[in-house]
A and B are shown apart, each in its own frame.
Chain A
Amino acid sequence: MIEIKDLSLSAGDFSLSHLNFRIESGQYAVLMGKTGRGKTTILESICGLRRVESGTITIYGKNVTNWLPADRDVGYVPQDLALFPTFTVRGHLEFALRLRNWSKPSIADRSQQLAEQLGIRHLLDRKITGLSGGESQRVALGRALSFYPTVLLLDEPLSALDSDTRSEMQDLLKSITKLNEVTTLHITHNQEEAAALADCSFELRDGKVERLTGMSAGKCQ
């Protein structure tokens, strides 16, 4: 469960104030809004990369507003993916697990399992240079899901993909988030994407996050 209360933040030349929304455990929420309105800023504040001015961020009952990003257990897939240039695909999947001192066999099991779920088993020993857009996207997703995060944040994960890969990834996102039982917040400006994926959807409009009613309003509050 993610709960945002009275959250105010500023970045560059815009600021957002008194944001309120809540996503229930296991839900797939989509946040829509035009580009440059601060959607990414909201995600960055949830994962701890951006300091908030006031308000609280609660994840599964814990007020994490002032926690370091490393302590929040939030999986983050940024729009630019930000893969690690010196790592192999396997290195990406194992990175968070090694930081958590998992045993070698359990790290190997988990990376195999993820690689199968994501369909990237044949790429495990490849470097990330030369991966296609869809493959890179899967690696970034696997890296974010590897440590069983409580929350997954996706920043326009499908925007750079062609339409075939996009629908493939859409199905994958739906199945893998269910499989890993993770509460997801997905940012997009694409209506179709939202309709296909969302248990519930929100829109960032005029500096406020509003719950969308109608077909994809779901169980959000």
Chain B
Amino acid sequence: MTDHLVSSGKSQQRGEGHRRRRSDVPFFVVMGGISSCFVLLIILLLLADLRFASIAEFKTALLKPEIQFAFQLTILSCTVAALLSIWVATPLGYLLSRYRFPGRTFIDTIVDIPIVLPPLVLGLSLLILFHQPFFGWEIEKWMRDTVGFPITYRWPAVVLAQFSVACAFAVRTMRVTFDQIDPRAEDVARTLGCSRGQAFLQIAFPQAWRGMIAATTIAWARALGEFGPILVFAGATRMRTEVLSTTVFLELSIGNLDAAVAVSLLMVAMAVVVLVVLRLLGTGLTS
């Protein structure tokens, strides 16, 4: 009798448990709602730009010789800065990924400094570095008088300012790339007769190409967006050191909002191309 009561009570409890009362809808509403704020902000920004500029103004702006010069200099300087960055970032990223050595944390932190430093401060630091006399010897003076290749307020300053920031991002990317490549294969290669150098070149390097393209693209995109250090270190001289980010600033400062927006849209288009390239490569950067 008692057993019967207990068992019927249990079955009643079980039956209650079957009632459907849980739903995932609130989860998606809250998470999606918060996430969409940011996505919406970016979309609205782009739409506002598009709505503001007319095609005729866009054409007029892009036909201006100053802006065409700025476009060419931007493409060239970004490409040189990106290539220099990948050249430095590959060995540095590999060393940071593979080895534990004294001072590693210090170097790791130093590499991040250009990422967190205010851009103007970086430009100012570059300017000071090149014009500061070290026991009577000055880099800029030496480059100008002895090497015959002055840097400051010329296009090399643009490249160097872009490189200083872009390279930091490329190093981060290359480090993640090598972290994702299993070092065991390099170890086995060393037992087969490779030196560490051969193991790097023949085993790790061929696996890193996607990461290298991603790092180059990221460096290129960072260089495109660079403004502060260029303004301080290279100046904003039309037809000399003007890149597209400087153009936006210059046009804005003379009240030519239409041209500023047209150039901004051009930069948005360039950034989109870069992002599409990154997505197509499907690197692990977004994962």
* Interface, chain A (partner B; CB < 8 A): 47-49, 68-70, 72, 74-76, 78, 80, 82-86, 95-96, 99-100, 143-144, 146-147
Contact = CB atoms under 8 A, between A and B. Distances in A.
User: Chain B contact residues (Cβ within 8 angstroms of A): what range?
Assistant: 10 to 19
A84 B187 contact: no
Interface string B172-190: 0000000000101101111
Contacts of B202: 95
A72 B185 CA distance: 17
A114 to B, nearest CB: 14
Closest 3 A/B residue pairs (Cβ)? A82-B184, A99-B193, A96-B192
Say whether chain B's binding surface is mostly helix, strand, loop, or mixed: helix
Interface of B: 182, 184-185, 187-195, 198, 202-203, 206-207
B193 A82 contact: no
B193 A147 contact: yes
A153 to B, nearest CB: 8
Contacts of A82: 182, 184-185, 187-188
Contacts of B203: 84, 86
Given A70-B190, A70-B193, 7 more contacts: A48-B190, A49-B190, A76-B188, A76-B191, A99-B198, A146-B192, A147-B192
Contacts of B195: 68, 70
Nearest to A95: B192
Given A75-B191, A76-B191, A86 B206 contact: yes
Given A82-B185, A99-B198, A143 B192 contact: yes
Contact of B194 (A75, A86, A99, A143): A99
B168 to A, nearest CB: 28
B207 A85 contact: yes
Contacts of B193: 70, 96, 99-100, 147
B186 to A, nearest CB: 9
A53 to B, nearest CB: 18
Given A84-B189, A85-B207, A86-B207, A70 B184 contact: no
Contacts of A83: 185
Contacts of B192: 70, 75, 95-96, 99, 143-144, 146-147
11 contacts: A49-B190, A69-B190, A69-B191, A70-B194, A80-B182, A82-B182, A84-B185, A96-B192, A99-B198, A144-B192, A147-B192
Contact of A74 (B184, B187, B189, B191): B191
Contacts of B198: 99
Counting chain A CB atoms within 10 Å of each CB, the highest count among B188, B195, B198 belongs to B188
